[in-house]
Amino acid sequence: MAEEAAGCARPIGGPVGEETGSSVDSKLKKPPEVHAMIKVGRKAPDFAAPGYHKGEFINVKLSDYLGKWIVLCFYPGDFTFV
Amino acid sequence: MGVEVLSISIDSMFTHKMWNDHELAKMVKGGVPFPMLSDAGGKIGTIYGVYDEEAGVEARGRFLIDPDGIVQGYEVLTPPIGRNVNETIRQIQALQLIREKEGTEATPSGWKPGKATLKPGIDLVGNVWKEWKTDQAFDEK
């Protein structure tokens, strides 16, 4: 993962591995409103998010992981109990 | 198994660092081995259907995504319920086998590595009862 300034967590606005238009366009346009995008057998919605990994702050894009199996785990919050 | 784990919550990456360094590193030697992502505002959680706007946090959602970027399965739990990691591993083992066999084999209820698979095809229609018994749905006692 290249060293970049920390970005904001954001949906890319499309499924992983598909063109979502030029970067100029995607900056001008908001990602389309999406509801219930998750369906088994369909592509996962792509996103970019800042994070922490082994002593460094990083930026991760889901589509960077194409070609690998991924377990994506959401959870309520750091320092909670379960 | 060749699986990459990504965790994500509404906490900032700074909070992730503190949680990792001051608590999780005491549970796991060397700290958390996977990226801990920050979804401040819950935008990503919203498109994955796990962000609770009222509570301002994300439910315990777990998504299995294959090398083509396809969602192969998910589970979403309310906050007080912990996950069953063994079941996640079993599902990945099943998915990897199915992918390797290019759909010529399927894993019936209760399957885990070592148990019989089914080979879907015209000969199996109406004959699953010969190949698969209901006690196979459960772990051996």
Instruction: Give the pLDDT confidence of B28-43 residue by residue, as tens digits.
Output: 999 999 999 999 999 9
pLDDT band at B98 (very low <50, low <70, confident <90, very high): very high
* B61 lies in some domain: yes
Which sequence spans correspond to the domains of chain A?
1-16+43-82
* B122 lies in some domain: no
- What are A58's strand-pairing partners? A51
Q: What is the number of structural domains in chain B?
A: 1
* B71 lies in some domain: yes
DSSP A12-80: EEEETTS----HHHHHHSPPPP--S---TTSBPEEEEEEEEETTEEEEEEGGGGTTSEEEEEE-S-TT-
Instruction: Report CB contact under 8 Å: B8, A68.
Output: no
* B75 lies in some domain: yes
The residue in chain A having the minimum alpha-carbon distance to the alpha carbon of residue B48 is A38
Instruction: Report CB contact under 8 Å: B44, A47.
Output: yes
* B47 lies in some domain: yes
pLDDT band at A36 (very low <50, low <70, confident <90, very high): low
Instruction: Report CB contact under 8 Å: A69, B1.
Output: yes
Residue B7 phi, psi dihedral angles, 5° rounding: -105, 155
CATH no. for residue B76? 3.40.30.10
pLDDT band at A2 (very low <50, low <70, confident <90, very high): very low
Say what the alpha-carbon torsion angle A42, A47, A51, A57 is, to the nearest 10 degrees.
Answer: 130
* B2 lies in some domain: no
Give the lowest-confidence range in A13-27, B17-31, B84-98: A13-27
Residue-range definition of the domain harbouring residue B65:
7-83
Indicate if the alpha-carbon torsion angle A55, A59, A61, A66 is positive or negative: negative
